[in-house]
Amino acid sequence: MTRPTQKRRERFFVEQAARLLGKPWILEDDREHPDFIITEGEQRFGLEVCEIFIGPQDRAGSAMKRTESDLHRQLERLRREYEAIAPITLRVQIVGRLSPENMASIVPALVAEDLPSKPVGHHLVIDEGNGLRLHVTKALRPEWFSVNQRVGWVDRNPLPIVADAVSKKSNELERYRAAAGADIRLLLVADRIHKSGKLMLDGTAALDTQGFQVVYVLPYPEPVVVFVAQRDAA
């Protein structure tokens, strides 16, 4: 993911968090360390944004997220290949085995359906055999994804993941404060649309914010869970 794409994604999640919290946050220009400076009425604070993931982690991060990112790049390549042949946009839901042979069959199967001649909203199911099925809709905007990468078990005890992320980010607090002042907050995002982000945090859980004034946990698109530093909790 390129840095501009990453910043757009971070901004999207901050805007969604503000909407879900009912907060009139005004975001200043994108920056680094922390990611945003935000104005809310008379308050002004720095906000660092970090995504969190379930499943195995290593020095390079989440193994599950890497798999999702690799597949996303492959599907984007197939989408561009198809759109170079047929300049229309499709919503393609892929169900089943994603072997190299099955991936190679997707664009020819779509081209064979002559979808440019169909109206927007036209839907069909293509069963390619070999464990691959395509649910295809002629749409106003493109969306190609694997259904298998969007379903999975939900981690209902993710507090260790959250606490570990807070601990790692707290090591940068002095740098954040030097740039944005004393009020530094952290937004942790779990994108539940994807398998790697399927967690649900109990809002009654206790969390050490480790120097952050507030830690927001956004299991997108579910409501935000808010943890306030103990000295400010009263």
Q: Radius of gyration over alpha carbons of the chain, in Å? A: 21
pLDDT tens over the chain, length 234 residues: 557 888 999 999 999 999 999 999 999 877 889 999 999 999 999 999 999 999 877 777 788 888 889 999 999 999 999 999 999 999 999 999 889 999 999 999 999 999 999 999 999 999 988 889 999 999 999 999 999 888 878 888 899 999 999 999 999 999 999 999 999 999 999 999 998 999 988 777 789 999 999 999 999 999 999 999 986 443
The whole-model pTM stands at: 0.80
Q: What is the CATH number of the domain that holds 224?
A: 3.40.1350
Helix axes 63-85, 100-111, angle to 10 degrees: 30
The domain of 27 spans: 3-54+155-233
What is d(CA 222, CA 120) in angstroms, rounded to the nearest whole number? 30
- Rounded distance, CA 24 to CA 13, Å? 14
- Domain final residue pick, 150, 169, 196: 150
Q: Which of 150, 177, 193 is the last residue of a domain?
A: 150
Shared-domain flag, residues 133 and 163? no
